């Protein structure tokens, strides 16, 4: 047998035992990557994964290893030539780490880690082997939580959707109910569909489980896609049914049904019911193809001695050592970058914000602790201003963040107000002329909101290091860019709100009132929300 034929068959070649085993080199490189990406991985481990939505993530690396083990027989039979294409994935991973570190957005660095791991597999094992284990590598993506601003929007949307479906279930049971936003009013008891009831704590685990089922399910591709995608509507519907059942039980047996052990137990039952439905779905699909489900699942693993050949059969290729050099150089370079400190601008505390603005006189209002815990802002203020001769007042709300890292982000009124029971009748970006110190206009989001028979006019904007922005996604871009170029991610939300009185001129009068207030407010903001030219200093301690 020729040497080429021996390599193709995967059998041990002469001298292979004297070479560094390819899988050992791969394990070493992944270990070094873990050190290079340690800050973002530590955040994921101690901040993200303990949350109910992501506590299944602790199992994902082990499940990915299991998926690789199920293909060990095929892996041992293909060559591992390595590929320099993996080097580019490694470099891309370190580039994402650099961007994530400089901008303090950990999600970018976490995806960089997954990308670099993929690069190491390609560089050390090569494409023939990677084609066999790509589902296991793709499964690692489920380790990384969603960026906080996407999670906030998804949470708010799922809350409203779950509430509406749950109310339909309640009405089908003949229980009278009234709904405002995420508040289900049963008459004697109001049930708030909180963030924890949005369904995310079921959606992410079930999507992960659905992907795993699709990988193990030996069936036509369309059936596997259906199994995975069905986990999303299944979660939403079952969570809504859970909220509806809780509300019905509350109406008959009292508020205890919505609290404590019963609440958590009902959630666990719903999740297990979703898992059971997924298995039922796969069973029906297998039967359509004349097969039994157990025969359609790839669950068999080779004997341990055979699986061990993954670690010993083939030596490391040259591309693997090139990737190893790149990993070492990248790790050393990032060690220098990690010493970079955040910059915090000097500013006045909102506790000193003036309660007299021209002819406006204000009184500070309390903010409940639950809202403060949800917002995670560094400084907040809520003031109700009035002026003589105007029966309608203006409410000012500001939330300031010294940094907007992963897990700390401004909550947009576009998502918070509907959650509080207010319906947005319209939302548009407008400019208020002659407001800024240079005579320029101030861009704001203008919205009319309604609840019952009451209407209010809202202006809000995002003050971001001298920029006044109305687009939430543009806000995220500048957080990223300014984190890179200015080492700053501070910013604030400014929201003002006033009642809309009855009558044909009610909206116009509310606009005039808010615009007059904005012109008085704007000159004061620079002391409390620093611009680009603010004096900055290194943070006393790195806040993670």
Look at 536 and 164; give whichever has higher pLDDT: 164
Q: Are 201 and 270 in contact (CB under 8 A)?
A: no
- Total count of domains within the chain: 3
CA-to-CA separations, 181 to 62, 246, 377, 399, 497, in angstroms, rounded? 41, 18, 24, 23, 18
76 and 88 co-located in one domain: yes
Give residue-wise pLDDT tens across range 374-420.
788 999 999 999 998 888 899 999 999 988 865 577 888 887 776 66
Backbone angles phi, psi at 474, to 5 degrees: -65, -35
Give residue-wise pLDDT tens across range 291-346.
888 788 877 766 666 666 777 768 889 999 999 999 999 999 888 776 666 688 88
Residue 140 has pLDDT above 70, yes or no: yes
The residue from 287, 320, 337 where one domain ends is 337
Region for 254 from its dihedrals, namely left if φ exceeds 0, alpha if ψ lies in -120 to 50, beta otherwise:
left
Structure confidence at residue 296 (pLDDT): 81
Residue 402 to residue 409: CA distance in whole angstroms = 10
* pLDDT average, residue stretch 252-268: 61
**Domain containing 374: what range?**
343-531
Structure confidence at residue 405 (pLDDT): 66
Question: What sign does the dihedral 231-235-238-240 (CA atoms) show?
Answer: negative
> In this predicted structure, which of 99-103, 381-385, 455-459, 516-520 has the lowest mean pLDDT?
99-103
What angle is formed at CA 8 by the lines to CA 7 and CA 13, rounded to 5 degrees? Answer: 20
Structure confidence at residue 480 (pLDDT): 82
Both structure tokens of 183: 């508040």
154 and 90 co-located in one domain: no
Give residue-wise pLDDT tens across range 142-179.
999 887 667 767 777 777 788 888 888 888 888 887 77
Backbone angles phi, psi at 21, to 5 degrees: -60, 140
Residue 376 to residue 379: CA distance in whole angstroms = 9
**pLDDT band at residue 265, thresholds of 50, 70 and 90?**
low
Residue 498 has pLDDT above 90, yes or no: yes
317 and 328 co-located in one domain: yes
Structure confidence at residue 52 (pLDDT): 80
Number of CB atoms found within 10 A of residue 197's CB: 25
Both structure tokens of 479: 């957080």
CA-to-CA separations, 213 to 209, 237, 449, 456, 540, in angstroms, rounded? 6, 20, 44, 49, 48
> In this predicted structure, which of 29-38, 239-248, 442-451, 473-482 has the lowest mean pLDDT?
239-248
Give residue-wise pLDDT tens across range 28-53.
999 999 999 998 899 899 888 998 88
Q: Where are the alpha helices (DSSP H) in 254-301?
A: 260-288
402 and 500 co-located in one domain: yes
215 and 278 co-located in one domain: yes
424 and 466 co-located in one domain: yes
364 and 504 co-located in one domain: yes
Q: Where are the alpha helices (DSSP H) in 104-173?
A: 106-125, 127-139, 148-172
**pLDDT band at residue 541, thresholds of 50, 70 and 90?**
very low
**pLDDT band at residue 264, thresholds of 50, 70 and 90?**
low
In sequence order, the 6+-apart residues with CB closer than 8 A to the CB of 402 are: 344, 378, 490, 539, 543
* pLDDT average, residue stretch 413-429: 78
Domain assignment of residue 116, yes or no? yes
In sequence order, the 6+-apart residues with CB closer than 8 A to the CB of 283 are: 293
Residue 543 has pLDDT above 80, yes or no: no
The residue from 296, 325, 352 where one domain ends is 296
Structure confidence at residue 10 (pLDDT): 37
Q: Are 68 and 94 in contact (CB under 8 A)?
A: no
Domain assignment of residue 401, yes or no? yes
347 and 324 co-located in one domain: no
270 and 391 co-located in one domain: no
Region for 466 from its dihedrals, namely left if φ exceeds 0, alpha if ψ lies in -120 to 50, beta otherwise:
left
Residue 16 has pLDDT above 60, yes or no: no
Residue 96 to residue 88: CA distance in whole angstroms = 12
Domain assignment of residue 117, yes or no? yes
Name the burial class of residue 292, with classes exposed (0-12), middle (13-18) and buried (19+) by CB atoms within 10 angstroms of its CB: exposed
Residue 385 to residue 360: CA distance in whole angstroms = 6
Give residue-wise pLDDT tens across range 187-234.
766 666 655 555 567 788 899 999 999 999 988 889 999 999 998 888
Residue 472 has pLDDT above 90, yes or no: no
Structure confidence at residue 208 (pLDDT): 92
Domain assignment of residue 5, yes or no? no
383 and 485 co-located in one domain: yes
Long-range contacts of 170-176 (CB under 8 A, 24+ apart): 170/244, 170/247, 170/248, 170/251, 173/244, 173/248, 175/247, 175/248, 175/251
Domain assignment of residue 516, yes or no? yes
Residue 171 to residue 185: CA distance in whole angstroms = 12
364 and 435 co-located in one domain: yes
Domain assignment of residue 7, yes or no? no
Residue 103 has pLDDT above 60, yes or no: yes
Question: What average pLDDT does the chain have?
Answer: 83
Domain assignment of residue 3, yes or no? no
402 and 305 co-located in one domain: no
**pLDDT band at residue 15, thresholds of 50, 70 and 90?**
very low
Both structure tokens of 342: 């955040």
The residue from 284, 317, 337 where one domain ends is 337
What angle is formed at CA 43 by the lines to CA 208 and CA 215, rounded to 5 degrees? Answer: 15
Q: Are 273 and 266 in contact (CB under 8 A)?
A: no
């Amino acid at each position: 047998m020729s040497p080429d034929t021996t390599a193709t068959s995967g059998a041990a070649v002469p001298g292979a035992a004297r070479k560094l085993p390819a899988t050992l080199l791969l394990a070493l490189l992944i270990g070094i990557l873990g050190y290079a990406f340690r800050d973002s991985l530590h955040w994921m481990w101690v901040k993200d994964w303990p949350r109910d939505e992501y506590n299944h993530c602790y199992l994902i690396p082990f499940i990915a290893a299991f998926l690789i083990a199920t293909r060990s027989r095929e892996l041992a039979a293909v060559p591992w030539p390595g590929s320099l294409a993996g080097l580019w994935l490694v470099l891309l991973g370190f580039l994402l780490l650099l961007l994530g570190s400089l901008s303090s957005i950990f999600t970018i660095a976490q995806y960089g880690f997954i990308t670099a791991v993929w690069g190491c597999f390609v560089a050390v094992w090569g494409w023939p082997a990677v084609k066999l284990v790509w589902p296991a590598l793709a499964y690692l993506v489920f380790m990384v939580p969603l960026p906080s601003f996407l999670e906030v929007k998804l949470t708010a949307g799922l809350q409203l959707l779950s509430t509406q479906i749950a109310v339909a279930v309640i009405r089908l049971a003949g229980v009278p109910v009234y709904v405002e936003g995420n508040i289900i009013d049963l008459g004697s008891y109001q049930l708030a569909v909180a963030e924890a009831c949005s369904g995310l704590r079921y959606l992410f685990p079930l999507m992960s489980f659905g992907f795993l089922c699709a990988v193990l399910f030996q069936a036509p591709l369309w059936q596997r896609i259906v199994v995975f995608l069905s986990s999303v509507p299944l979660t939403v519907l079952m969570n809504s049914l859970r909220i509806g059942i809780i509300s019905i039980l509350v109406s008959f047996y009292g508020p205890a049904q919505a609290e404590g052990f019963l609440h958590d137990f009902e959630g666990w039952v719903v999740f297990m019911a979703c898992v059971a439905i997924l298995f039922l779905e796969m069973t029906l699909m297998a039967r359509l193809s004349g097969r039994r489900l157990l025969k359609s699942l790839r669950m068999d693993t080779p004997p341990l001695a055979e699986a061990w050949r993954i670690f010993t059969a083939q030596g490391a290729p040259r591309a693997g050592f090139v990737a190893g050099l790149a990993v070492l150089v990248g790790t050393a370079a990032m060690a220098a970058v990690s010493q970079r400190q955040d910059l915090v601008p000097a500013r006045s505390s909102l506790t000193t914000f003036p309660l007299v603005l021209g002819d406006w006189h204000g009184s500070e209002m309390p903010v409940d602790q639950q809202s403060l815990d949800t917002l995670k802002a560094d400084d907040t203020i809520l003031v109700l201003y009035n002026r003589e001769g105007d029966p309608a007042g203006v409410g000012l709300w500001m939330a300031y963040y010294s940094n907007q890292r992963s897990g700390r982000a401004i909550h947009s009124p576009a998502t918070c107000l509907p959650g509080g029971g207010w319906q947005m009748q319209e939302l548009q970006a407008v400019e208020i002329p002659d407001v800024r110190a240079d005579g320029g206009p101030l861009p704001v989001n203008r919205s009319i909101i309604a609840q019952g028979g009451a209407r209010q006019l809202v202006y809000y904007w995002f003050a971001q290091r001298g920029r006044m922005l109305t687009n939430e996604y543009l806000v995220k871009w500048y957080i990223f860019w300014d984190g890179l170029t200015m080492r700053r991610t501070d910013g604030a939300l400014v929201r003002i709100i006033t009642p809309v009185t009855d009558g044909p001129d009610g909206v116009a009068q509310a606009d005039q009132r808010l615009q007059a207030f904005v012109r008085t407010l704007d000159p004061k903001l620079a002391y409390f929300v620093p611009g680009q030219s603010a004096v900055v200093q290194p943070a006393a301690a790195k806040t993670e």
